[in-house]
Structure 1
Amino acid sequence: MRFSSLLRAMALAGAFIGAPVLAADSSKPLPAIGDFFNNPEFSDAVLSPSGKYLAVRLGNKSKRDMLGVVELGTNAVKVVGNFSDADIGRYAWVNDQRLVFTATDKDLAPGDMRYAPGLYAINRDGTGFRQLAMRNGKAFVTNGSTLGTRELLPWHTYLLGQDGAQDSDFIYVQDRDISGPGELNHVDLLRLNTVTGRTSVSVKRPGASHYWLLDHKGEPRLTITADKGSSSVYYRDPATNEWRKLTDFERFTGSGGTFRPLAFGPDGTLYVLSREPKGDTTAVFTYDLNTAKLSSKPLVKLDGYDFHGQLIMGKDKLLGVQHLTDAMGTTWLDPDMKAMQAKIDAMLPNTINLLTLPTHPESPWIMVTAFADIWPKRIMLYNSETQKLTMVGESYPGINPNQMAHKELVRYKSRDGLTIPAWLTLPQGPGKQLPMVVLVHGGPWVRGGSWNWDPDAQFLASRGYAVLEPEFRGSTGYGSRLFRAGWKQWGLKMQDDVADATRWAIDKGYADSKRICIAGASYGGYATLMGLINDPDLYKCGVEWAGVTDINLMYDGSWFYTSDMSEDWKQYGMPQMIGDQVKDAAQLKATSPLEQASRIKQPLLMAYGTADMRVPLPHGTKFYKAVKQTNPNVEWIEYDEEGHGWKLPKNRIDFWGRVEKFLDKNIGASAQ
């Protein structure tokens, strides 16, 4: 029996190990929309520091998610955390005996939630429960809780997200000073005893700290402060406990400065991200804290990619590096780990297999996260003694890999000669002259995709559409040149890149030039509207959700809708990266979809959440009112209490069902 089946059945005894992975049955019908857009049935698991225990999230569609602990030597499973009116949120091991966790509610849309997750601790055997922090401004009352007379930490207490030493009952937590949506003033670091609930401020910050980094001993050693449009990196000298500034850089553009911190090694070495002289991409260097100099050569350099990933540390040395190129992968420096990776890859030859090691190993268990472009994430355990793999859980068990589409990173030339990466997903069958969806990522200052299973693209491909996802200029992860080329290019060269990608797919014969739709969310929604305006010959229709419809609205907002864009971002980031309201007023007007709504004649599907604080509802309502005056083929969807995207599965399923019908009508089988 698979572990995921065991969790659903709540059979909390006996073997949890699953049957061997079988080849998918290609005779199955195509998966339903819910198979793509329901919440994953299994999302994560965390090994204890010794590797003897596994913490997992237990639950199913009809029950609240609970926190369980598996004793890997006996396969015994015990529920240690559960609430009557909430789900388990984040969780982590304090040490090999104790865990901390937060609360969330998977059944509430963002507009109904107040993000104060609380903080709780419990032993792995279910004893020693203690609430540590308030949830939503009040004590979290649940059956069996014993709060005692001790005062709880305030609601704005959050987990740090770093393991720490994991050798005591203490952890470091964040106390966030927040003055409003998007307005984080500073973060204090508290040393918390998870048994008694007592805290101390053991480290005074050198400024308005927004980020903290623990060293190899689990102690705060570095912080990044923010002051208006600038950020500074400070190091705390262990000999004096005094702060020393290491570098400054522009807070929003990232310009300037020598490096960005990455991690501390077991020997105290500081690993950082920087660029070689005349280099375009970031690489991993070491930084000498005594001489304030970078190493002469990078430790890790990825050809054509900025470094994104993590260093994998052992007890006394650097074991390997996990990094993202087109896909995630691992370069092992340790020969034993390199040999283990080769064995696991031979057992799972069709997937990327990422290994997670215990921080203080005392057992043979290694966690394996396996995935591919056609295969959603699965979590397994590898026993280094028996050299056997066993299944823990599958994120989307309803997905048949044999029915999924392959995804490929391609590159094309823009009209001004810049090389642009793009992701191409082709449905099974003949890959020529297909109806195509050009899917534009949001951000826009992010990397759009990687080689993995993506529900949006795979759903569209399962319905017969080619999917093209350009990493247009402004996208990150591919070097400074591509990123900086997108500054102040909303609706201009950024938009040209999307159109050039579309024409590339037509020229290559992948796309039928008369059956192409443009789609996207957030910035991708903005690009969808501008694509319909700038290139009406290319796009038969458009689908946009949570899309920006006017740049000035991002600055000015609406008096009765709250935005989570900080005032510092509007003052120091947006004028440089998007456009200055005064100096670039003509450009912002010329690149405003709202100002040019009457030019859109193609069918359009729009969707917004009423509680969106990133792109508040007036972006949608104002544009819908304007475009409907001259275009009768506009469909409007409004999801009550949803935010910037759809959290609830019922809304995701409803939305993509509407998208399926809209595409079929305009570029699919029904259109023919």
Structure 2
Amino acid sequence: MKKNIMIIIPFTMIFLAGCVSCGEEKEKPAPLIDMELFFRNGEKAGFQISPDGKYYSYLSNYRDMLNIFVQKAGENDALRVTSDTLRSISQYFWKGDRILYLQDTGGDENFQLFSVTASGEDLRALTPYPGCRTAIIDILRFIPGKEKVVIIGLNKRDIQYFDPYLLNIETGDLKLLYENKENFDSWFTDNIGIIRLATKTDGVNITYLYRQSEKDEFSELLTTSFRETFYPQAFDPDDRNIYVLSNIGRDKTALTEYDPVKKEELKEIYAHPDYDLESIFYDKKKKVLAGVFWTGEKEEAYFFDKEWENIYNGLKTKFEGYEVGFNGWNDEMTKAIVSVYSDRLRTKYYLYDFASKEAVEVANPFPWLNEEDMARMKPVKYTSRDGLTINGYLTLPKGVNAKNLPVVVNPHGGPWARDGWYFNPEVQFLANRGYAVFQMNFRGSTGYGKKFWEASFREWGKKMQDDITDGVQYLINEGIADPERIAIYGGSYGGYATLAGVAFTPDLYACAVDYVGVSNLFTFLNTIPPYWKPYLDQFYEMVGHPQKDSLLFVEASPVLHADKIKVPLFIAQGANDPRVNKAESDQMVNALRARGVEVEYMVKDNEGHGFSNQDNRYDFYGAMEKFLEKHLKPKNQ
């Protein structure tokens, strides 16, 4: 089971859509846009509709923090129902006539669950357990008799493992559903909200356990290597068989039907030849398998249910050239909130009428960003030095010829994640400042099959880094990049790749920005969150073992090669980061300053793994803008 953390040599490279520097009509350059407009909290973000359809809810500013507002359908005025002034709220959902939301303290990721009415009354801390983390297992929607309860996981008995509880959202009463003495690490429910599946790991193997009913004991279903995908998605309408995303016996993850009694895969329902399937859409109200989703160059879908296929295709026709997604619908399925977005449009929200098929705009959260002023993100692909196809995206400044440009290379975090075609405020901000932005899905990025993912094992700072370097060299060879003005910037694993880039290819980059990045593989694996420790052996397989692979760790830890770094760095870190400890950044800063290398260091005491608060984002990106202007300033600008 894959777990996200966080994060010169001849070769042939081609762009998927042909030459990026020719054959296109000249665009007008964009005006210079104030940095804060890219990173300001949205006016109405996270738009949702209440189950009864009477209210809309959204996140908006209150004292520069995102809080929840509720607006009655058909009315213009909205009521603020939360008043958090220390940290923005980012995760919330409706349950009946109440709103539930998760909040941590200063970015420590120990989330507590809160509940409040649509009128802003009866605010309750449902899981007020300091140092513990709340996980949502099932909100139990469309299940008669369970309108006031949800299933959550809490690690208050054992910090490494979660016990499942039935939680009353009005009273806060907790009922233990299973005392997790076996150290199960995940739970799966059926269509009536009964926990039927659980998993446990020895670090590298995952055992799936099954029971026929709540009264039965769990028994072993199958054991897989962490290299194999077996993701239960939903039980079938009869609560007998299981829809599973699986790559067992295949390279690409496919949708299958699995019989837990016979302990066998019955059939492959759908597969794509080039990409892993990512998720399914199981309509819990209709109790029908509706569709499946994956990401190629852009988001793609296949529908089994004709009604949903017609709805989706109708919206794609109406919003041609854009991506569409459902943020939710009311229980009667008469109205829904639809989000529309693209590489140049951050998002707009529409109220969709299932009967008339009409979609009416209800909110533009970022009206200050003009879509026409944004740069286009183009899917690209190239071939690495050892023959792998690497997919990625290139964003060119609007109205600028793709020749001899300053470039910001932006490897993604994870590293077992991927970049996609959507609005990225960082990318648009950098493009608006005259920089081309290059993102690549290096080996290990998800969505491209098992072999491509496994090709990253024990390759931090090695072949994974080569994939980044090869892409940069392509831009140079094509004349797109000015070889004297290339920067590298990334967060989490992308921050590691940034440090590795300037340490292992010190002549390639002019400067670098590291955002909550790993610098020392030895210390990184010693400071992971306690709830990651059951997967430590998996990390040893994928990254390496501090003792058995000590030579590899020495070779791949940028801080141990700080003597090779000779370009200026800007490093940013959250003091409460539970994933990449602040010591990772401290080590690198101290090593560089001891050698007299220029390094700017920003630490935010009220942040964790990335900056959530608006004022901190302003500080970070403002400092980045000045740093890049100083060391990578575009010519004639």
Sort the TM-score into its range (normalised by shorter chain): 0.7 to 0.9
Letter of the 2:619 partner, please give it.
Answer: D
Map of 1:231 onto structure 2: 206
Pair 415,482 (structure 1): closer, same or farther in 2 beyond 3 Å:
same
Q: Secondary structure at the match of 1:628?
A: helix
Q: Partner of 1:271 in structure 2? A: 243
Q: Corresponding residue for 1:131?
A: 124
Indicate the larger mover: 264-273 or 462-471. Answer: 264-273
Q: Distance in 2 between matches of 1:43 and 1:325?
A: 26
Sequence identity, in percent? 29
- Structure 2 CA distance for partners of 1:116 and 1:627, relative to 1, 3 Å: closer
Residue type of the partner of 1:335? K
Structure 1 partner of 2:63 = 62
1:334 pairs, out of 305, 311, 316, with 305
- Asked if structure 1 preserves the Cα contact closer than 8 Å seen for 2:154 and 2:165, the reply is no
The aligned counterpart of 1:248 is 223
Q: Name the CA distance, whole Å, in 1 between partners of 2:164 and 2:479.
A: 56
SS at match of 2:126: strand
Q: Does 1:623 align with 2:623?
A: no
> Is this contact kept in 2: 1:94–1:166, CA < 8 A?
no
Deviation at 1:570? 7.5
Structure 2 counterpart of 1:37: 39
Question: Once structures 1 and 2 are overlaid, which stretch shifts more, 74-83 or 239-248?
Answer: 74-83
* Per-residue deviation, 1:387: 3.6
> Are residues 1:210 and 2:198 paired?
no
* Conserved 8 A contact 1:374-1:452: yes
- Structure 2 partner of 1:592: 557
Q: 2:586 is matched by which residue type in structure 1?
A: T
Distance 1:329 1:476 in 2: 15
Query: Contact 1:65 / 1:82 at 8 angstroms: preserved in 2?
Result: no
User: How far did 1:662 drift?
Assistant: 2.0
Check the 8 A contact 2:258/2:267 in 1, yes or no: no
SS at match of 2:270: coil
How far, CA to CA, are the matches of 1:58 and 1:478 in structure 2?
A: 34
Partner of 1:358: 329
Separation in 2, partners of 1:85, 1:499: 43
2:327 & 2:593 partners in 1: Cα distance?
53
Unaligned runs of 5+ in 2: 1-27
Q: Which residue of 2 aligns with 1:143?
A: none
Whole-Å separation in 2 of the counterparts to 1:243 and 1:221: 8
User: Which of these residues, 427, 432, 436, is aligned with residue 407 of structure 2?
Assistant: 436
Letter in 1 for 2:46: D
For 1:402-432, what per-residue CA distance to the aligned partner results, in whole angstroms no more than 9, with x for missing partners? 1111112222111111111122111212222
1:396-545 alignment runs, 5 A limit: 396-429=366-399, 430-447=401-418, 449-545=419-515
- Deviation readout 1:597-656 (Å, 9 max, x if unpaired): 121112222222333332222222222222234344332323333322212222222222
CA RMSD after TM alignment: 3.1
Q: In structure 2, which of residues 298, 319, 322 is the aligned counterpart of residue 348 of structure 1? A: 319
Distance 1:509 1:614, change over 3 A: same
Equivalent residue in structure 1 for 2:155, among 177, 183, 187 = 177
Q: How far apart are residue 371 of structure 1 and its match? A: 0.5
What does residue 581 of structure 1 align with? 546
Q: Is the contact between residue 171 and residue 194 of structure 1 (CA under 8 Å) also seen in structure 2?
A: yes
AA of the residue aligned to 1:334 = D
Q: Deviation of residue 67 (structure 1)?
A: 4.3
Cα distance, 1:566 vs structure 2: 5.6
8 Å Cα contact 1:414/1:420 also seen in 2: yes
Q: CA deviation at 1:219?
A: 2.5
Q: Show structure 1 runs of 5+ residues with no match.
A: 1-25, 138-153, 558-562
Whole-Å separation in 1 of the counterparts to 2:495 and 2:169: 45
Q: TM-score, normalized by length of structure 2?
A: 0.86
1:140 is matched with none
Give the Cα–Cα distance (whole angstroms) in 2 for the partners of residues 84 and 667 of structure 1. 39
Q: Residues of 1 paired with 2:540 and 2:30: CA distance?
A: 53
In the alignment, is the contact (CA less than 8 A) between 1:267 and 1:317 conserved in 2?
Answer: no
Counterpart CA distance in 1 for 2:164 and 2:212 is: 17
Take 2:600 and 2:84, find their aligned partners in 1: how far apart are those partners?
Answer: 40
Q: Which moved more, 1:526-535 or 1:206-215?
A: 206-215
Q: Answer yes or no: is 1:160 the counterpart of 2:137.
A: yes
Within-5 A mapping of 1:286-305: 286-297=257-268, 299-305=269-275
The answer to whether the 8 Å contact 1:344/1:353 transfers is yes
How big is each residue's C-alpha offset from its partner over 1:412-460, in whole Å with a ceiling of 9 and x where there is no partner? Answer: 111111111122111212222211111112222222x111001111111
Query: Which of 360, 364, 367 is equivalent to 1:394?
Result: 364
Q: Report the TM-score when normalising by structure 1.
A: 0.82
SS in 2 for 1:596: helix
Q: Is the 8 A contact 1:45 1:55 kept in 2?
A: yes
- Paired position in structure 1 for 2:350: 380
Q: Distance in 2 between matches of 1:30 and 1:266?
A: 54
- Please state whether the residue corresponding to 1:537 is helix, strand or coil: coil
Local SS of the residue matching 1:620: helix
CA displacement at 1:135 relative to structure 2: 3.2
Distance 1:567 1:194, change over 3 A: closer
Amino acid at match of 1:495: Q
Higher RCO by CA contacts (8 Å cutoff, separation 6 or greater): 2
* Number of corresponding residues: 606
Does the CA-based 8 Å contact 1:119-1:157 persist in structure 2?
no
Q: Is the 8 A contact 1:613 1:644 kept in 2?
A: yes
Change (3 A) 1:552 1:116: closer
Does structure 2 retain, via aligned residues, the 8 Å contact 1:438–1:469?
yes
Distance 2:361 2:102 in 1: 27
In structure 2, distance between residues paired with 1:501 and 1:612: 31
